[in-house]
Amino acid sequence: MENIDLSSMKLSRPELFDFEGVSMIHYFTDNWEKVKNFQARPDDILIATYPKAGTTWVSYILDLLYFGNDAERQTSKPIYLRVPFLESYFPELLPPGTELADNLPTSPRLIKTHLPVQLVPKSFWEQNCKVVYVARNAKDNAVSYFHFDRMNMGQPEPGDWNNFLQKFMEGKNVFGPWYDHVSGWWGKKQTYSNLLYMFYEDMVEDTGREVERLCSFLGLSNSVEEREKITKGVQFNAMKQNQMTNYSTISVMDFKISPFMRKGKVGDWKNQFTVAQNQQFDEVYKQKMKNTTVKFRTTI
């Protein structure tokens, strides 16, 4: 698996279409029967996020907590192979996410998804799997998504920033509206106790504290020294330098346009939004989020 060559991966930008009421691209729906019927195991851990909310960060933290002592894994296996992206389907280039997950030899298996809660394969709920959800404030999430779509040829063409922002407010992004995603998963938390709902802003504010939260949710007893070492190893600059976590091995991402590990900040939206865009965004936000109690911080 380590030898998969993604350096020659060429993709043409896909079109968005409606899939079960959610905007999607074919790379995440072509394998739908297998995704829908995926057989989760009770000890699987599902990492769920809206794209660009800190998926890679929390994936790497969990990977180190469980498998940090496996030197070979840590030095030769990129994060996207350690933590398969369940619904992804790029057949010429990489085994389907379902197959990568089926073939994971570890226990637990760490599995990533960006699916809105209503589309998650039902076996995860039937098996009462632990789920870690990470959410990020809408403004920084939108900015990060814009730069990601600019540089990732496997994503739809984003247009200019204003154009992208209008589409974001309409929910015309891959994996649908941010608003529904974060509030749908927040709603799930009220009835499903094996779900930890985390915030990107909290992770930036105090990574060590959030590592502790993860350990207590997962029932892990890693030593204090280990936790401190992990907290250091997952800082933005360390992950940006680390070839196993910075996605530098995937050529569909053009880092000359924007790197995967871009800024890693809370409040960077202020450098992107105009005053008028911010006003409009706040109005739309109030409307879209009026039926949920989930609260975000746009600065820390």
Residues acting as catalytic residues: 114
Backbone angles phi, psi at 47, to 5 degrees: -105, 115
- x-marked contacts with ligand A3P along 23-52 as a string, rule CB under 6 A: --------------------------x-xx
3-state helix, strand, coil in the chain (%, to 5): 45, 10, 45
Residue 144 in the binding site for ligand A3P (CB under 6 A):
yes
Are the beta carbons of 234 and 56 closer than 8 angstroms?
no
Residue 234 in the binding site for ligand A3P (CB under 6 A):
yes
Q: Which of 109, 112, 130, 147 binds ligand A3P (CB under 6 A)?
A: 147
d(CA 27, CA 83): 18
Are the beta carbons of 47 and 62 closer than 8 angstroms?
yes
**Binding residues for ligand A3P restricted to 183-212, rule: CB under 6 A:** 204
* Strand partners for 196: 132
Q: Which two tokens stand for residue 98?
A: 């379902």
Residue 138 in the binding site for ligand A3P (CB under 6 A):
no
* Strand partners for 110: 45
Region binding ligand A3P by CB under 6 A among candidate stretches 92-100, 101-109, 152-160, 256-264: 256-264
Region binding ligand A3P by CB under 6 A among candidate stretches 53-61, 182-190, 210-218, 291-299: 53-61
Residue 139 in the binding site for ligand A3P (CB under 6 A):
no
Closer residue to ligand A3P in complex, CB, 3/201: 201
Q: Which two tokens stand for residue 147?
A: 């730069």
Residue 239 in the binding site for ligand A3P (CB under 6 A):
yes
What distance lies between CA 114 and its chain's CA centroid? 6
Q: Which residues bind ligand A3P (CB under 6 A)?
A: 49, 51-57, 140, 144, 147, 204, 234-236, 239, 261-264, 268
